[in-house]
Amino acid sequence: MRALLRLVGKRSGDLERLDRAFVHESYAREHTAVSNERMEFLGDAVLGVIVATWLYETFGDEDEGILTVRRSRIVNDAQLAQTALRLKFPELVFLGAGMRTSGGAENTSILADAFEAFVAALYLEYGLETARRFVLTQHVAHLDHDREALLDPKSKLQLVAQEQFASTPVYREAVVGTPQAPRFESTVSVAGSALGTGAGASKKAAQQAAAGAALAFLSERTTS
């Protein structure tokens, strides 16, 4: 914990409050302790303000659509968990016995929640500026902010739909596999017209495939 605090230029603080950011509900149940859930709630809001402000100031020529995509890529659980892993959060997380045995210390959702809770702890203990410095130097600065690199097919289609049709893509899924081997098909429509269909092992994968097919269709229509 002290090594983590040194990253934000602090040498002392209420370690009990800071430690609470790492108390998962499974540990709290087993030890009659207070979990990090309330701190996660606050940290999510603080993180959102920090990231939104940074994006607004950094990308002054971009519209709301691309800023929204950028924000979602920065604050999604997978990105937060990657930063938490790099900062060795698994060594700090308090988990119940069963959760730890099953590998919960490296669970994406648990790590992302701990990251948000730690942001809240910094905010409560040291103020917004310290929380902001931590988020920007230890998380945001380590991400790729190239516009093309940030946009997966679903995100790209959302921007194209907004720019060309003033509409939002709508996805409809159907399960086509078995309970033992589930598989999903997704069809994406924009402004009432079906533009692409895709399949995958999850709804998310199927939606990405459908978005890719829709983008290909729109590109061919534009060039033909």
Range among 47-56, 74-83, 100-109, 165-174 rated most confident: 47-56
- As a three-state string, the secondary structure of 106-168 is HCHHHHHHHHHHHHHHHHHHHCHHHHHHHHHHHCHHHCCCCHHHHCCHHHHHHHHHHHHHCCC
- Can you tell me the mean pLDDT for 15-35? 91
Tokens representing residue 11 in the block: 């040498």
| Paired residues of 175 in beta bridges | 184
Q: Are residues 215 and 105 in the same domain?
A: no
User: Where is average pLDDT lowest: 11-15, 54-58, 177-181?
Assistant: 11-15
pLDDT for residue 149 is more than 70: no
pLDDT of residue 46: 98
We report the CATH number of the domain holding residue 84 as 1.10.1520.10
Question: How far apart (Å, rounded) are the C-alpha atoms in residues 224 and 151?
Answer: 25
**Catalytically active residues, by annotation:** 44, 116
Boundary of a domain, candidates 146, 175, 199:
146
Q: Are residues 120 and 196 in the same domain?
A: no
pLDDT for residue 64 is more than 80: yes
Q: Are residues 72 and 121 in the same domain?
A: yes
Tokens representing residue 102 in the block: 């099953």
- Can you tell me the mean pLDDT for 65-70? 84
Question: How far apart (Å, rounded) are the C-alpha atoms in residues 57 and 34?
Answer: 37
pLDDT for residue 147 is more than 80: no
- Can you tell me the mean pLDDT for 1-25? 83
pLDDT of residue 1: 73
- Cα angle: 152, vertex 167, 219; to 5 degrees: 50
Contacts of residue 177, Cβ cutoff 8 Å, sequence gap at least 6: 183, 184
Question: Which residue range forms the structural domain that includes residue 175?
Answer: 153-223
pLDDT for residue 13 is more than 80: no
Q: Are residues 185 and 77 in the same domain?
A: no
Range among 13-17, 33-37, 74-78 rated most confident: 33-37
Q: Are residues 86 and 111 in the same domain?
A: yes
Q: Are residues 127 and 197 in the same domain?
A: no
pLDDT of residue 88: 93
pLDDT for residue 197 is more than 90: yes
pLDDT for residue 222 is more than 90: no
pLDDT of residue 29: 92
Q: Are residues 130 and 169 in the same domain?
A: no
Tokens representing residue 201 in the block: 């092992």
Average pLDDT, the chain: 90
pLDDT of residue 73: 83
pLDDT for residue 87 is more than 90: yes
We report the CATH number of the domain holding residue 169 as 3.30.160.20
pLDDT of residue 37: 96
Q: Are residues 163 and 207 in the same domain?
A: yes
- Burial label for 112, CB within 10 Å (0-12, 13-18, 19+), is buried
pLDDT band at 152 (very low <50, low <70, confident <90, very high): confident
The set of long-range contacts for 160-166, using a CB threshold of 8 Å and a minimum separation of 24, is 160/215, 160/218, 161/190, 161/191, 162/65, 163/65, 164/218, 165/190, 165/191
pLDDT band at 224 (very low <50, low <70, confident <90, very high): low
Instruction: Look up the pTM and report it.
Output: 0.71
Number of domain units in the chain:
2
